[in-house]
Amino acid sequence: IDLRGDWPTALRAAGFDPSKPTAWSAEGLLPYLPATGQDLLFERVVQLSAPGSRIAVEALSPSFFEPDYLERRRQYLRRNQQSGALDPVDLWFLEERTDLEQWLTERGWQASAIDALDLMHRYGRPPADDMADLSPRSVFIEGRHRH
């Protein structure tokens, strides 16, 4: 279903019970939604979340939108894709985004965030030296609904 549409109705029709805690996950999704679509998605998630619900999100860091970084990513993808392959950057909505950690906290969630590069180092999986400049500029957010 298009997440900009009325997916909560379809979810309920499929048997979803918003009175029970739910686990939500959004990874690799947000660049493909406009900023308003992202906001609407999370407004609906909050409305459908009972106390005890959990969320895990890969969000875009503000530095994700730096033109030099995006151009380096684009060049890397072009060098490593087959000729004529679609460039995912062409599908991204490169717009300023809501700070989801703060947004969730303001709505009764206990949330924390970690930069992707820091998370990679935590798990002993740093990018190779030649890839450090292209490491993901995303933030992983986890939260639990307290109310």
* pLDDT given for residue 65 in this prediction: 83
Confidence at 132, pLDDT banded by 50, 70, 90:
confident
Give the model's pLDDT for residue 84. Answer: 63
pLDDT class of 94 with cuts at 50, 70, 90: confident
Contacts of 64 (CB under 8 A, 6+ apart): 70, 137, 138
- Quote the pTM value: 0.84
| Average pLDDT across the chain, whole number | 89
Nearest CA among 79, 19, 7, 74 for reference residue 43: 7
pLDDT band at 111 (very low <50, low <70, confident <90, very high): very high
Cβ burial 2-24 (10 Å sphere, 16+ → b, else e): eeeeeeeeebeeeeeeeeeebeb
Q: How confident is the model at residue 63 (pLDDT cuts 50, 70, 90)?
A: confident
Better-predicted residue by pLDDT, 25 or 94: 25
Res 131: pLDDT: 81
Both tokens assigned to 29: 């999704």
Task: Examine the pLDDT at 85 and tell me if it is beyond 70.
Answer: no
Question: What pLDDT was estimated at residue 49?
Answer: 97
